[in-house]
Structure 1
Amino acid sequence: MSNTEKKIADTQGKYLLAVSQGQRLTDAEWQNCRIILTTERIALMADDKRQIALDEIDRIADRFDVNQQSAGVSEYVGFHVGEDVILVSASNHAEFETDFYRASLNGAVIRVQHPALKGGVVQNAEWTKGRLKVSDEALQVAMADGQAVTIDRADIGDLAVEDKDIGGEERAVIEVEHSEEGISVETHLAGDEFHATVLQVMLEESAEQNRADLDLSSTEKRVIMALHSGVSPFDIPNFVGIDVEKTEAIFDRLIELDVISVVRERTEVNLTTKGRRVAGERMGEQ
C-alpha cells in the first residue's frame, strides 16, 4: 500500500467472477472472502487474492445474473473491468456501497454548474471547479467560488445525463434536480469518465428510490405545477381557477400522498421530492 493510499473498509463477503476475458462463466460460483476497500482498490482476499483498481472500473451494475448462483443473491455490485465482470456481495450491502462511493469520489475535483436551473428557470451560472465529499445522507460539493452545495440523496427528484461541450471538450453531464430552501434547483456535474460513472450510479440509485408513481387528476397536476413555479399556496385558487374548498381538498390528498409537506399548518406548503418529480414530468409533457 502506498503512502497516499488509505483503507476505507475491511469486511467479510463473497465474490463471483461472472466474465473472464470476455467469456461468460455460466458455471461460476461464489467465493467467500475478506473485502478490503481502499482509496485505490478493492482487494478480495480468498484462496486466491484478486484486486480491482478503482480507476480501471469501466461500469458498475446492480445486476449481472450470469447463472443461478448469481441470481440467488439479492444484493451485490457488478464491476465491469476491461473484459472481466466481478460481482461483489458484502455482508452489509448498503454500507459497502456508500464506502465504495466515498473511496471513489471523496476529494475528487469535477466541474460544477450551480444552479443551472432554479424554479424551472435557466440561470447564468458559470462552470467552476468543485471538490466532492460523500456521506450516508448527501453529496457535498465545495466549489472554487466559495459556494457549498449539498445534494441530499433522499431529495433527488429527477436525473438526466447528456453529452455537452464544456471548454471545448465533450463530457457526460449529470443533471440532478433537488431543492434548496424549498425551491427546486438543478445542479450540473461533469467529471472524468470514472468519476462520472460512479456519480451517475450513486445519484440514479437515489433518484430511483424517490420516483413518484401516482395517479393524479389534471387539476391536481396544475396545482403542483403552480407550486413548482413559485405560486403561493394562498394564490392557488385564483391561479388554477378552483374554489378554496377544492384547493384544501387537493392539498389534503397531496399531503397524504407525500407530494407536498406542510410548512405551517393549513396555510403554507412545499413540494416534496415526489412533487417536484411530478412537476418535471408534467413540464416534459407540455
Structure 2
Amino acid sequence: MSEDERKLMDDRGQFLQAVRGGREVQDADWTQCRIVLTTVRIVLVAEGKRTIPLDSITDVGGRYDVNQNAAGVASYVTIHVEGEDVLLLRAPEQDEFETDLYRAFVDNTIVYVQHPAVKGGVVQNADWQRAKIKLTDEALQLALSDGQYVTIDRDDIGDVETDEQTVDGSERRVFEVEHTDEEGTSVETNLTGEEEQVTILEEVLQEGAERNRANLDLSPVEQQIVMALHSGVSPFDLPEFVDSDVEEIEEIFDRLIELDVIETIRERTEVEMTSRGRQVASEEMGNQ
C-alpha cells in the first residue's frame, strides 16, 4: 500500500457477480468474502483475490436484480466495472460501508456550489463557487472558497430536484437540495461537479431524501399549515392564518409530529390558579 493510499474498511461481506464480460450471469449467487476498501481500490478475498481499482469503476448505485438471489436481498451496492462487469456488494454494516465507498470517490475533491440558491422561499443572487467536499455518516460538509462552511445533514434533506445548467463553462447536471440552515430556515443549496462526482452525489442525496420521504395524505388545512410554517408564519399565528380554532391546530400539530413532518422545539404550559394559589395571591396583595 502506497503512502497516499488509506484503508477505509476491512470486514467480512458478500459479493454477487451479476454481469461478466457484458453477459448476465443468470445462476449467480452470493459468495462469502473479506472486503477491503481503500482510497484506491476494492479487494475481494474469497478462495482467490480480486482487486478492483476505483478508477476502473464507471458507475455506482442502483439495484441490479439479475435473479432471485439478488432480488431477495433488501440492501446491496452495485458497482459497474470497465470490461462490462457488474458486481453487487454487501457488508454487515451496509450503510457505513456505502458511506465509506462514496467517501473513497468524493472526499477532498472539488465540486461547484451555489449557496444559498433559495432562502426562506426567496431566490438569492449567490454565485457559483468551488468547494471542497467531505462526507460523513451524518452529513455532507462543504468548505466554500469564500470561507463559508455549509453542512447538509443527511437526515435533513427534504427534496432533491435536478436541472441542466451551464457552470464554469460546461453544461452540467445540477442537484437542487432543500434542507435547513443553522437557524432552522429552509434553504436550497445547488451542487454539481464532474461526472464521477455527480454519480456519487446523486446516490447520497437521493438516499437522504428517501429517509424523509413519506407517503403522506394531508388534508387541505394540513397542507396549508405546512406551507405556512415553511414560509415563516409563527405557530401562534396559525389559527387566524388558516381560520381554525386553537384546538384544531393543536390536533393537527400532533398528527404532523407523528408523521415526522414537524418537531416540537418548546412547549408552552397552560396554567390556572388553584385555591392555594389564590390564597397566596390574596396574602401578597394584602401585604402591599
Indicate the TM-score class for this superposition, using the shorter chain for normalisation: 0.7 to 0.9
1:262 aligns to what SS in structure 2?
coil
Instruction: Tell me the equivalent position of 1:90.
Output: 91
1:262 maps to: 264
Q: Following the alignment from structure 1 to structure 2, what is the Cα–Cα distance between the partners of residues 92 and 264?
A: 35
Paired position in structure 1 for 2:80:
80
Structure number having the greater strand percentage: 1
- Is the contact made by 1:33 and 1:44 (CA closer than 8 Å) also made in structure 2? yes
The answer to whether the 8 Å contact 1:98/1:136 transfers is yes
CA contact (8 A) 1:59 1:81 kept: yes
Corresponding residue pairs, total: 267
Contact 1:63 1:77 in 2 (8 A): yes
- Report 1:1-286 matches (<5 A): 1-82=1-82, 83-180=84-181, 181-266=183-268
What is the identity, as a one-letter code, of the residue corresponding to 2:136? S
Does the 8 A contact of 1:227 with 1:233 survive in 2?
A: yes
CA distance in 2, matches of 1:27, 1:259: 44
- Does the CA-based 8 Å contact 1:62-1:75 persist in structure 2? no
| 1:266 Cα deviation from its structure 2 partner | 3.8
Amino acid at match of 1:217: S
Q: Following the alignment from structure 1 to structure 2, what is the Cα–Cα distance between the partners of residues 122 and 55? A: 38
Q: Secondary structure at the match of 2:265?
A: strand
The runs of at least 4 aligned residues of structure 1 exceeding 4 Å deviation read: none
- Cα distance in structure 2, aligned partners of 1:118 and 1:190: 19
The superposition leaves residues 223-277 of structure 1 with CA deviations (integer Å, 9 ceiling, x where unpaired) of 111111111122222322333333333223322332212222149xxxxxxxxxx
The code of the aligned residue for 2:204 comes to M
Higher alpha-carbon deviation: 16-25 or 73-82: 73-82
C-alpha distance in 2 between matches for 1:73 and 1:254 = 32
Deviation at 1:62, TM superposition (A): 4.2
- Post-superposition Cα deviations, 1:82-116, rounded to whole Å, max 9, x if no partner, equal 32111111232122112112222211111111111
2: CA distance between counterparts of 1:29 and 1:212?
33
Q: 1:4 to 1:165 in 2, by over 3 A?
A: same
Change (3 A) 1:27 1:258: closer
8 Å CA contact 1:128–1:144 kept in 2: the answer is yes
| Bigger shift: residues 41-50 or 184-193 | 41-50
CA shift, 1:16, in A, is 1.6
CA distance in 1, matches of 2:227, 2:185: 13
After TM superposition, the structure 1 stretch with the greater mean CA deviation from structure 2, 235-244 or 172-181, is 235-244
Counterpart secondary structure, 1:33: strand
- The amino acid across from 1:93 in the alignment is Q
Letter paired with 2:175: I
Distance between the aligned counterparts of 1:249 and 1:9, measured in 2?
A: 47
Q: Closer, same or farther in 2 for the Cα pair 1:250/1:90, shift >3 Å?
A: closer
Pair 55,191 (structure 1): closer, same or farther in 2 beyond 3 Å? farther
CA RMSD of the aligned region, Å? 1.8
Aligned position for 2:281:
none
> Residue 187 of structure 2: SS of its match in structure 1?
strand
Instruction: Report the CA distance shift for 1:56/1:186 in structure 2 as closer, same or farther (over 3 A).
Output: farther
Measure the CA separation in 1 of the matches of 2:264 and 2:194: 41
Counterpart secondary structure, 1:125: coil
Per the TM alignment, residue 53 of structure 1 is displaced from its structure 2 partner at its CA by 2.4
Moved more, 197-206 or 159-168: 159-168
Could you list the runs of 5+ residues in structure 1 that have no partner in the other structure?
Answer: 268-286
Give me the identity figure in percent: 57
- Write the letter of the residue equivalent to 1:66: V
TM-score normalised by the chain length of structure 1: 0.87
Amino acid at match of 2:239: P
Partner residue, 2:284:
none
